[in-house]
Structure 1
Amino acid sequence: MFRLIWFASIHIRVFMRRRMPTNIVLDKVRTRRGLKWGIPAMLLAIPYLYAASLLTVIIRDGGPGWLNLIVLVAIWSGLKLLWIGPVSLVLLARVRIHEHTERRTERNSREHVIAEPTVSA
């Protein structure tokens, strides 16, 4: 039984990782070129949280209980999208600092090579 639950959770995770829109957006934002889109991606959380709000009203008014699962997924997706904004800013700052130090060390090494006097024999 434990093995069945384990394999089911693995397959659900793989499906969610590859097919769910928020995971696709988050994968695109986490690339070097996509880090600047973290703050606009936060706006995508609004429809997810609004859908969760509407579904809770439907459930409260006598809707089917299985909609609670969709509410959980919508809230989780909304929170992921809200979180990516500040995280992408931190990652972008780290990447830019790293790129700046690489450019500076490369420039210093080039200046050092040019400035060395040549010894002729």
Structure 2
Amino acid sequence: MLAMLWNLSTAIRGYLRFYMPTNRALDWLRSERGLWWAVPVAAVAVPAYLFAMSVAAAVAQRPGLGAANVLVILFAWNALKFAWAAILCPVGLIRAGLLP
């Protein structure tokens, strides 16, 4: 049973890693070519996702539209992912030897 759950979670992770656009963007930003772009992309993406989150939260407060809370969580998670990528960018640049 545990092996089946492990294999299922691995398959889901592989699917999400390959097909979800923010995961693909973050994989590119973590590459050596993308490290220089991590902070500018995060400077645009984080406020955009936070704005989208606030719009989704306003929509979710209307009666009958509580399912929009899933979008609120999704936008918040994506904003955190891009913010974290911007914070770790200098570490990646130093590790790659691109900064002194």
Give the TM bin, normalised by the shorter chain. Answer: 0.7 to 0.9
TM-score normalised per structure 2 = 0.79
Partner of 2:14: 14
Structure whose alpha-carbon radius of gyration is higher: 1
C-alpha contact 1:16 1:23 (8 A) present in aligned 2: yes
1:47–1:92 Cα change, 3 Å: same
Partner of 2:25: 25
State the identity as a percent: 34
The answer as to whether partners of 2:60 and 2:67 remain within 8 angstroms in 1 is no
Q: Following TM superposition, where does structure 1 have runs of at least 4 consecutive aligned residues deviating by more than 6 angstroms?
A: none
Q: CA RMSD in A?
A: 2.5
* One-letter amino acid of the counterpart of residue 81, structure 2: K
The gaps in structure 1 that reach 5 residues or longer are 101-121
Measure the CA separation in 2 of the matches of 1:25 and 1:63: 34
Unaligned runs of 5+ in 2: none
Which amino acid letter does the alignment assign opposite residue 78 of structure 1? A
1:98-109 equivalences under 5 Å are none
Q: How many residues align?
A: 98
| TM-superposition CA deviations, 1:12-67 (whole Å, max 9, x none) | 43332112221111100111111111101212122221111101111112242221
Instruction: Indicate the residue corresponding to 1:110 in structure 2.
Output: none
In 2, the alpha carbon distance for the partners of 1:19 and 1:48 equals 19
> Within 2, Cα distance between the matches of 1:68 and 1:62?
12
Q: Partner of 1:79 in structure 2? A: 80
Instruction: Describe the SS at the equivalent of 2:32.
Output: coil
Distance 1:66 1:87, change over 3 A: same
